[in-house]
Every structure is written in C-alpha cells, then in structure tokens.
Structure 1
C-alpha cells in the first residue's frame, strides 16, 4: 500500500507541469488505466494530493474528481441553451439513474484543461464504470455530491448566480465531500456541520482559478494587475473560514495520508496566490512535499504549517496593499492581520470568526488618546477591519431581519467585551 502511494506521488510530481498527452488518454485500454493517466492532467496539484490517500480512498477520490471534470465539460463547452439539461443528464448517467449518455461534445478547446475535459466527456462511460466499481457507501457519497454540484451548475446556466454562491455550491460542495471522505466515521458529522467553512475553501479555490485563468470580464477589470487586486481583496473572509476548516479537520482526520493531502493543497494554493503579488510562499517548492508529510505526522507540525501558511497569506495581502497607490498606508513595518488569529476558534460558522478577527485588529490599535493622525500601518489595520466587518454583512441572506439582528448583537457584545487572553472575544 505504501509503495502504491509513493509510486503515485512520484508519477504525479514527474508529470505535474507537462502538457497533457491527449492521444495517450484516448488510447487508455481500461477505465483504471484512464484514471491513472488522467488524474494529474485533470487536477494538477489536487491530483498529487489525491496520491497521498490510501488505495480505497484514492480510487474513490479519483473517480469523483474525474466525474466533476466531465460535468465541467458539459457546463463550459456546449451551447448555453443546451448546457443546463446536458449537465443534469450527465449527472443521471454517471450515477447510473439512466442508461443513455448525454450527446457527445463537438467543441474546440482553448486551454489544456478544456482539452482534457473533452477527452473525459468522450469517455464518460469509463468514468461511470469507475463510479459503479466503488463500494456502496462510496457510490452514495460521490452520487450525493454530483447531484448537488450538477444542480448548482445547471441553475447557474439558467440564471447566473453570484460568483460566491456559485463557488460555494460547486467547489465548496466538492471540498465538503473531500472532508467527509477524510473524516471516515465522522463523515456524517462533517457534512452536517461544516458546509459554510467548506464553502469558504471553495470560494478561495475559485478565486485562485479565476486568477489563473485571467477572468477579467467576470470581475469587470481591464488587466491582470486589477484582477489580482480584486481577487485578493475578496480573499480575506474566505481565508478565515479556510483556516478554521483546516484547524477543525486536522485532529479529526484519522488518516495520515488524508492530512498530508490537505496540508499539500493548503501549501500549494497559498504559494500560487502569494506568487501573483511576489510575496514569499510558506515553503520553497522543494520542501512542500516534505512539509506536508511532517504536518500530517505531528500535531505540532500541523500547527506550524497552518501558521506559516496563514502568515504567507497575511504577507500577500500587505504586498497587494503596498503596491496599490489608493490603498497603501505608508511604508512602515506591516502589521499582522490574519496572523493575529493564530489560535483559531473551531467555530463551524464564519460570522464568529469575522467578528473575532475584526475586533482583534481593533484591539491591536494604540490605546493612548489620539493626538494626531494614526501611523500608516494602523490606518491599514483599520481598513482591513472595516473590510472584514462589511464582509460579514455581505454574507447575510437578503431581507433577513433576524440574521441582521443576530450579527448586530454579536458585534455589540464583542465591542463591549474586555480583551481576554490571546485577544479572543
């Protein structure tokens, strides 16, 4: 079993940055061979993360991932009036509810990822075979996820959803599935409790994807620099939820391989986001695999990994603010933002985390009476606190007076409360 993981990891790292060999994918002589060849071209670093898993979990996660890529193909590479029904039909076929596959796609791929998706859609029968070969609990777990993801995709095609809602419903649902798989016996508890935090990871991943794909029109910006700024400014609140999820899942994940997979994805996603603004990554590329394994093997190293990743995100935010003339607040040493919350709460909802961090920032301001203007670094701290506070408002359901009252009460209690050890509310 260990040899299988090592071989899969070595193969994944060797092929991570190679262009996909589409002819080889088409020539795969079995569903299992297709899965082995397609995992890295279809998922890149996520495919490497899957390689950390045990054999059973690896087979399930691979089948689930490739099925999601098939749905992506029908969502993105077919005419919009037909795409919604095609996505729903693909879900039903993959889950074995119907015996007829959706019509073949006749699209032209622009990106390598789209080309891989097209090949997987051509071989949807093999992906269905991978799913049907899973144990019944795995089939049911993946099937529920595909139904939920396909429904959000279809609704978005029929009437575009807000970007955050789409990200939470698609990638966030995939993250929740992955957490339930990793948690094993606690999977039902994870699915019931962690939907909002998993949605935060989904939003973070979607922001990274949009930045990587240069989605200028989605954000109404003119160039990549504006896109980078727009994406990273949207990262603050979902980053809090993402770190809380990692903190929650670490001790509740029995498999060392699953913990290593989570650590690897946290490290590599953070490294990509930091690289877009020339901020230091949490670990050099040569150390990322080892850091993931160390984090998985020790609670102390897990905490160390989380803190390094968190501080790197913190540094990327400051690098962005420093580079934006209308947001820069001086050249003094940057204050901690997210790093103020090193001792995370295990809250399963985002509002307490936002309120907590907002007031941790406020309490870090100078206590003496203000006799002039605040230093630039403290102005920036206030700006970030305001940004987080408004992010909490943006997450409230529309026309929900009870939710508004609850959030207002939480802010009021936090404002009246005296600081406790570690700046916690």
Structure 2
C-alpha cells in the first residue's frame, strides 16, 4: 500500500542557493522545510541541488553549469517538477521553464497550492484564489511561450498579444471581484466578532505544525482537524471555553511560516484580524524542532507586521514528549556545547529568564503533560484581563476559586 502511494506521488527536485545572507546550514534548514511542504502538497523529492554564489542569477536563479546539471538529471530520472526555495521573478520563471522544459514552481507557488488544497470554507477558498490571482498576474506572459517558438508565423504575433491582454484583463477583473466579495465577508465577520459580547478573547498563534489544533482540542474539548502536515488548519476556529467557571473565547488561527508569501498576508488579513482583536496570545512553539527559536522570530515578525506584537503573550512550549537533546561525552574535548545540546531544563531556565516565569510554560498537548498547569496559567491571565476590563462588575465573579470549590 505504501509502495503504491509512493509511486503515485509527483517526482520533484529542490533547488536553493548558498549566499552571504544564507549559509549552507541555513539553506539545509530551508530545504528540509521545503521538502516537508512538497510532501504536504503530494510530491516526492528525488534530489536536492544547491550552488554557492554571491547572489541568485537574475536570469535563471542558478548558474549555467548548474542548470545543465539539473536538466540532465531531469531527463535521466523523468522528473516532472522543479521547486525553487525562493520566490522567482516572472522573467526567471519564464527562462527556467524554457531551459528545463518541465513544470517550475517556487516556494510561494507551492505554499499557495497547499492553501488551495486545504481551503474548506467559501471564505478560505476566496482568500486563496485572490492570492493566486495576484501571484499569477505578472507571470501570464510566460504561459504564452509556445507562440514564441513560432515567431514569424503570419497572424500569430498580434493574436498572441491579444490573448495575453485578454487574460490579464480577466485576471484583473477576477481580482476586483474577489476583493469585493472579501469586503462583504469581512463586514459580516466583523459583525460576528462584535456580537460575541465582552468575553476575553484568546488566540492561539505560532508556526505551522506546532500543535495549535491539538491544544485547541485538548483545552476546548472540541474536534478541530489535526494532521502531521504543514497548514493542516486554514479556517479560523472559535470556541467558547470555560475554566473554573470563567468563560472566554479561544481562537485557532492559520499557522505562520518563514518566507510567508506577501499575497497570503494580504488576502488573509481578515483571518489575522482575529489575532489583532485578541486580548491574550498563546504563542505555541514546537520545542522538539531544532530551529524553534527561528520559528519564534518568524512569528514575532509577522505579529509585528500586523501590529499585534505588544499584546500580553504566554509562550507555550509544546511537544516536550518528543524533545530529544544531544548528549555530550564528558571526555569529548572536540565537541563544543551549543544551544543544540541543551537539556529541557536548560531551555526552561533560559526562556523563563527571557520572558519571565509567568509567561512561559512547557507542555505536551498530545500526552496532556502539564496540561492542568497550563489551564491554570491561562485562567490566571484571562481573569486578570477580565478584572481590568470590568473593575466594578466583578461581583458577578467574586472568586472563581471559591465558586469552583
């Protein structure tokens, strides 16, 4: 069964460059993530290609020799798709497609494709389609390369240009239509958010595939879709949660990722409004991932872009059950201890020092380790916000602990 599934996967290769801004180790991390994205989209990576250069080639991203090497491998192994780790310009995509004579994607295109697969609701599908159209518009000319091979043919040049202009007009009109459709839905969602009353709003944020949906299911006892793939959840889910008789709204949002396409940030701005309007953020982190600190930085950057970086935040370090640290032989004088060798206790002391003991907690949503402590921490934070919002109405909730007892 597994063999059959593997055979049905699309054979792909990955391409990246080592530059002054991106060393070999960093490129390996990005290509690991790109391979996971490819697997999520339904592809199987046959090989990775990389090249060291000052900056990507403006015409073909990589050098001539590397392009020939890639082309030879494609022909010999019947590769159907080549995926580049960075966003290609329209001219690069056109040139590379002509030289390799196969499907050429970049990271942005791949992420958009996954979003298109994962979109369940009409709203999510509209957001994804808008992002795809915005990505497609400047690249339409590359789709008419078959006309260029017939240059000189009577009557081909004019109709070719007309077809491109017609397509551009169709895509522009579609973008306008989708934007108008989103405006209507955005207004409806704004009304829905306004109708939720004065309950404290808590939003789960974090990198993709860190366990936000699993945590949502654990704390709210709901059934949100969970899968070990990137962007398993696209649609925002809001649940009313009660901890010790204190109700609040908990929102599960779309996961973030490094090099998140600008088209997606723009088209998903209403989804991100759930984060903007939240009173408390639960920043979920997969501590078992070797690059989790960079994931934190990526999420913080996006939070800053949507002006949500100053909100009260509880750092939730998830998957402590899966965390494995490197052990160092005391007699090994060659190995220098780095952060990659930290024990879980060392990470705890580090982050509790960085953000404060009240603002960091280490849990496992899957095995429910420390979940009661997590619920207590969330309760305290929500209660604090509730009292600040209703300083004169707290006779309604005199003391939740006493009420619980």
TM-score, with structure 2 as normaliser = 0.32
Give the structure with the larger helix fraction: 1
TM-score, with structure 1 as normaliser = 0.31
Give the structure with the larger strand fraction: 2
